[in-house]
Structure 1
Amino acid sequence: MDAAMELSLPVAAQPSLDDVVSLAVDAEAAGYERVWLPETWGRDAVTMLSLAAERTETVELGTSIVNVYSRSPALLGQTAATLQEASDGRFRLGIGPSGPAVIENWHGQPFTQPLRQTRETVEIIKQVLSGEPVEYAGDHFDLSGFRLRCDAPEPAPPVDAAGMGPKAVELAGRFADGWHALTFTPDGMCERLADLRRGAEMGDRDPENVRVTLSLPCCALEDAEQARSLARQHLAFYIGGMGTFYRDALARQGHADTAEQIYDAWQAGERGTAVAAIDPLLDDLAAVGSPEHARERLAAFGDIDGVDAVSVSFPRGADAEEIETTMVALAPDA
């Protein structure tokens, strides 16, 4: 496998903050290159990454992702600078718009112009991290008269953007230092990588300098059917229950009928039907099953030309033992 091996810490199933941070310590020992921390509606990413930075020494750390609506761009820049200092230069900031289900129903903010919001946020964060006075006039933000009130981080942490649609991926290629991808088949990744290259060229940038990270649901258990069942439930929840973004992303990859079937069944409360409909695509969306089969599928995603890193993520229903077992089975040093 050519891509780097990374790990996304679980946002569920961990009973305490210490349990989550301990997984970062274990990931470092197992040889994972970077630990990502998603932020949804549980523990916040900044506190957990601060503790992880204190308890680890070499593993890289990052957010994948924090949304661009609940914190101002300037605060995101301050946060990136602080976490870069706390980690002795090991931090990478991943941001994205998330979706209306979270932004409107949890944060109480209007989910408006997500592409423009993301672009302006990236541009402002980069100004903040430069240490120079921030002067910015955009559609969403108008900033003037302040600069970072501490030394600018050296080096400045990279700023990545998440996205699933063609324009969102093009934006990442044009303005960000990397792209975070999720819920893609191998063929779907290849299509969106063309959008990334086009965006980089529009920004007069070398596409090779835009780092691509694929977050991949993984579960490697001796009970292969349990692993696959957990992944089916996880994918059905996102495609069927988290708004229309995941549904639409799957449809764009040539699986519109399956995406609609999952979404319609989930919305109708027919969860079993939604979960079963995932099965024909399971191996194209995840690396799950026996340890041998999961490693084989993980390697296939890591060999996609243009993917720089694959981040092992976990089904939302996996318990602590299943997470630990998967992490060990798929570790680079295994």
Structure 2
Amino acid sequence: MSDRDVFLPVGAQPTLGDLVEQAVTAEDLGYDRVWFPEGWGRDVVTPIATAAERTERIGLGTSIANVYSRSPTLLGQTAATLQEASDDRFRLGVGPSGPIVVENWHGEDFGNPLRRTRETIEIVRQVLSGEPVSYDGEYFTLEGFRLRFDPPETQVPIDAAALGPKAVELAGRFADGWHAVNYTRDGVTPRLEDLERGVELGERDPDEVRVTLSVCCCTLEDGDRARELVAQHIAFYIGGMGEFYRDNLVRQGYEDVANEIYDAWQDGDHGHATALVGDELIDQMGAAGTPSEAREQLSQFTDLEGVDAVNVSFPRGADPEEILETMRAVAP
């Protein structure tokens, strides 16, 4: 049985206080870790630092800090500081995001995201060692930086988000874990083979590379409303967040419906895109319905071989009460 984590929608909550209260609730409900994203809402560091002060046991992590919006050195400084603030409960998740975010929002050239992710992980590890940073890479040539405080006594694990085969292989080779996002229940298994190949190339201990699978969950007494919210969420990511999520679904055997959802969303017909998701895809990518239905569906993810933690996430259209209702219904 895998661990049960929770993914909080940083930008969607009315106040920072609401968000931190959800982290406190997650700890009270027995979740193992709470992950905070960073997109176009609040930054990721402030909520984690605030939650670290309000909680005692639950793990805290970034899912995902992208490797273009902060320099690797700053990410290392941030990881060291949050490890101190949380009394060694922090885990750093990084990833390249996509060109829509990187180029349109941050004004950076997307370039070679795999290489940049690798270099970021390697530099962050140097920073966290407390030794002087010396690095000569394709993207970064650094010399002379060193933390001016004692590095964390407990190593900060670094996870990488990845979609395609080579990216997942990279996570296995260089990171301490892989974040699998927008995968079907059946589609994650072939990528685990890519992860294992990366572990072998990096001569890593496979038991030390952690797999965290995100599952969009919504459990309401109105089961139809819950399933509609999850369908909307899936349609948004497949159709509205660039081509990466669409292409990832194609690789998992859903070429026709992935392209249809994408085309409908791009044409502005969001209702049709949502309707195209269908029951099969909802059940393959999420856990939605009444509380008993959703718990049964979620168990099919938590029992997957090779998955160390299931990350309970919430549809983007869910309001704070629906998020809390779901969090309570599928708690460990």
Note the C-alpha offset of 1:11: 2.6
SS in 2 for 1:316: coil
1:237 corresponds to: 236
2:255 corresponds to: 256
Contact 2:98 2:242 in 1 (8 A): yes
1:164 corresponds to: 163
1:51 corresponds to: 50
Note the C-alpha offset of 1:221: 0.6
1:182 corresponds to: 181
* Identity %, equivalent residues: 65
Output the amino acid matched with 1:288. A
Contact 2:235 2:274 in 1 (8 A): yes
CA displacement, residues 219-244 of structure 1 (integer Å, 9 cap, x when unaligned): 01110000000011111011001000
Point out where structure 2 has 5 or more consecutive residues left out of the alignment.
none
Under a length normalisation based on structure 2, what TM-score does the superposition of the two structures give? 0.98
Contact 1:196 1:207 in 2 (8 A): no
Note the C-alpha offset of 1:111: 1.1
1:299 corresponds to: 299
Note the C-alpha offset of 1:13: 3.4
Output the amino acid matched with 1:299. S
Output the amino acid matched with 2:285. L
2:74 corresponds to: 75
Output the amino acid matched with 1:317. G
Output the amino acid matched with 2:269. E
Note the C-alpha offset of 1:12: 3.9
Note the C-alpha offset of 1:26: 0.5
- Runs of 4+, deviation exceeding 3 Å: none
Note the C-alpha offset of 1:287: 0.7
1:17 corresponds to: 16
SS in 1 for 2:106: coil
Distance 2:10 2:255 in 1: 29
SS in 2 for 1:187: coil
1:3 corresponds to: 2
Under a length normalisation based on structure 1, what TM-score does the superposition of the two structures give? 0.98
Contact 1:10 1:314 in 2 (8 A): yes
SS in 2 for 1:214: strand
Q: How many residues align?
A: 331
2:284 corresponds to: 284
Distance 2:246 2:205 in 1: 31
SS in 1 for 2:252: helix
1:314 corresponds to: 314
CA displacement, residues 234-283 of structure 1 (integer Å, 9 cap, x when unaligned): 11011001000100000000111111000011111121221111113110
2:101 corresponds to: 102
Contact 2:160 2:171 in 1 (8 A): yes
Q: CA RMSD in A?
A: 0.8
Point out where structure 1 has 5 or more consecutive residues left out of the alignment.
none
Distance 2:60 2:11 in 1: 19
Output the amino acid matched with 1:308. D
